[in-house]
């Protein structure tokens, strides 16, 4: 199992450009999440999905969009990139069972908007 | 607005010492409190978690203490080792999957 994979690892964007951050998991998890991590701020939930075709906003959704057409993939779209979107982005997945709902994180994408 | 407040921001401990990280929350509907560990350049990974029906949970050298009346919980790292040097995040949720994270504590263990 590769777990949660994210591409690209690094990206530099110019203001106003758009891009898609890719996330794939091979654990057949129904829950998937996108977080952003800024220094001293912890992780903030951007969007999440409880299954294919179902997505919902988290704490900081403005400027982002997501889709979930399959169980495995959960891409994050940035439209009209702004310097405030400079951050490290993490995708995670989990499965609801009778024990703790452990979230498995990908390695992250470091995005810089100049 | 940070729903979970974490302190200290950083700490340095000698090898073999005890590291203590504290978290406080306001939302009494929270019923799941995990701690995640993150090494530089990596994603966070679940370290240990607790539910409010117990006051303490121990896994190896890591212990969570939970005080429901004070709405506080803490992570204790006993016999700290250089390999424990990492950033630790507390979190809380009311439905198991939507986590609110603290700001993180960077722990440095000096050999």
Return all residues near B108 (Cβ < 8 A) that are at least 6 apart. Answer: B10, B11, B12, B13, B85
Q: What pLDDT sits at residue B19? A: 97
Q: What pLDDT sits at residue A101? A: 76
∠ Cα A27 B83 B63 (to 5°) = 75
Chain A contacts of B27, Cβ < 8 Å?
A: none
Smallest CA–CA distance from A47 into chain B, residue: B98
Chain B contacts of A45, Cβ < 8 Å?
A: 98-100
Chain A contacts of B64, Cβ < 8 Å?
A: none
Q: What pLDDT sits at residue B9? A: 96
Q: What pLDDT sits at residue A13? A: 97
The tens place of each residue's pLDDT in chain A, 114 residues long, gives 789 999 999 999 999 999 999 999 999 999 999 999 998 889 999 999 999 999 999 999 999 999 999 999 999 999 999 999 999 999 999 987 656 678 999 999 999 999
CA distance B87 to A13: 28
* Cβ atoms of A94 and A71 closer than 8 Å: no
Q: What pLDDT sits at residue A50? A: 92
* Cβ atoms of A88 and A6 closer than 8 Å: no
CA distance A40 to A25: 28
Q: What pLDDT sits at residue A41? A: 86
Q: What pLDDT sits at residue B95? A: 74
Q: What pLDDT sits at residue A39? A: 85
- Whether B98 sits inside 8 A of A58 (CB atoms) is yes
* Cβ atoms of B107 and B86 closer than 8 Å: yes
In this structure, what are the phi and psi dihedrals at residue A83, rounded to the nearest 5 degrees?
Answer: -55, -30
| Nearest Cα residue to A4 out of A88, A86, A72 | A72
What sign does the dihedral B95-B99-B105-B107 (CA atoms) show?
Answer: positive
What average pLDDT is seen over chain B? 94
pLDDT digits (tens, 9 = 90+) for B43-86: 999 999 999 899 999 999 999 999 999 999 999 999 999 999 99
Smallest CA–CA distance from B32 into chain A, residue: A100
CB pairs under 8 A between A and B: 59
């Amino acid at each position: 199992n590769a777990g949660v994979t994210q591409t690209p690892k690094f990206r530099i964007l110019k203001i106003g450009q758009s891009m898609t951050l890719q996330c794939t998991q091979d654990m057949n998890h129904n829950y998937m999440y996108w977080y952003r991590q800024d220094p001293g701020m912890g992780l903030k939930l951007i969007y999440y999905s409880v299954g294919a075709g179902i997505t919902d906003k988290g704490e900081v959704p403005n400027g982002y969009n997501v889709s979930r057409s399959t169980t495995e993939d959960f891409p994050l779209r940035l439209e009209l990139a702004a310097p405030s979107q400079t951050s490290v982005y993490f995708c995670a997945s989990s499965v609801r069972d009778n024990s703790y709902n452990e979230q498995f994180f990908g390695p992250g994408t470091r995005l810089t908007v100049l | 607005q940070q729903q979970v407040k974490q302190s200290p921001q950083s700490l340095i401990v000698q090898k073999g010492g005890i590291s203590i990280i504290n978290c406080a929350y306001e939302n009494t509907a929270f019923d799941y409190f995990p701690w995640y560990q993150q090494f530089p350049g990596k994603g966070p990974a679940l370290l240990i978690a607790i539910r409010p029906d117990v006051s303490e949970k121990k896994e190896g050298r890591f212990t969570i203490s939970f005080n429901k009346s004070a709405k506080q919980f803490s992570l204790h790292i006993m016999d700290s080792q250089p390999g424990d040097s990492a950033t630790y995040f507390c979190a809380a949720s009311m439905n198991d999957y939507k986590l609110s994270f603290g700001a993180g504590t960077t722990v440095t263990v000096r050999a």
